[in-house]
Amino acid sequence: MVDDFDPPGARQAVGHTAVRVLDKQSGSFVLVDDIITITPSVLTNINSFAYAIELAAIDTILTKLNYTVLVDATSGEITITLPPLATSYNASTGIGLIFNISKTDLSTNKVIIDGDGAETINGDLTEEIIFQDSNVQLQAGPNEYRKL
């Protein structure tokens, strides 16, 4: 369970979000700080979720700021590299970032999703998207990325 948490001074720290997360072991809420950084927007988000959506037509390395990536592979095979698990999974809270990657074009070119270095996705070094409008959703875990 995650809820908004507005510690004193947080409104002055533009572009930073803090959340409270229910710790399953202790049963209490803990402050999770610095796992999510956002840029200011005109979008007002009340009781809902709002995440970044971006377009990619070249090889791209994701960061913790990415969420949904719409990939156009018309010009050739595109590789989307996931960020290191060390920056995507918080072992003390059990929170892992989620990424959505979708192929938008009709070409036969592949979108290749690659873990950082030797990091894996469900035990494999890469995951491929071949068909238009196919989507892969991944979450960072303690040992690897997992398809959802």
Whole-number pLDDT of residue 10:
37
* Per-10-residue mean pLDDT, the chain, length 148: 40 42 53 45 60 93 94 97 96 94 98 97 98 97 96
Domain count, the chain: 2
Q: Tell me, yes or no, whether 12 and 56 share the same domain.
A: no
Q: Tell me, yes or no, whether 81 and 129 share the same domain.
A: yes
Q: Tell me, yes or no, whether 56 and 38 share the same domain.
A: no
Whole-number pLDDT of residue 51:
84
Q: Tell me, yes or no, whether 71 and 123 share the same domain.
A: yes
Whole-number pLDDT of residue 43:
54
Which range marks the domain in which residue 58 is found? 51-147
Q: Tell me, yes or no, whether 36 and 90 share the same domain.
A: no
Q: Tell me, yes or no, whether 32 and 88 share the same domain.
A: no
Q: Tell me, yes or no, whether 28 and 66 share the same domain.
A: no
Q: Tell me, yes or no, whether 75 and 102 share the same domain.
A: yes
Whole-number pLDDT of residue 17:
43
d(CA 102, CA 123) in angstroms, rounded, equals 21
Rounded to the nearest angstrom, the gap between the alpha carbon of residue 21 and the centroid of all alpha carbons in its chain is 18
Q: Tell me, yes or no, whether 60 and 113 share the same domain.
A: yes
Centre a 10 Å sphere on the Cβ of residue 140 and count the other Cβ atoms it contains: 25
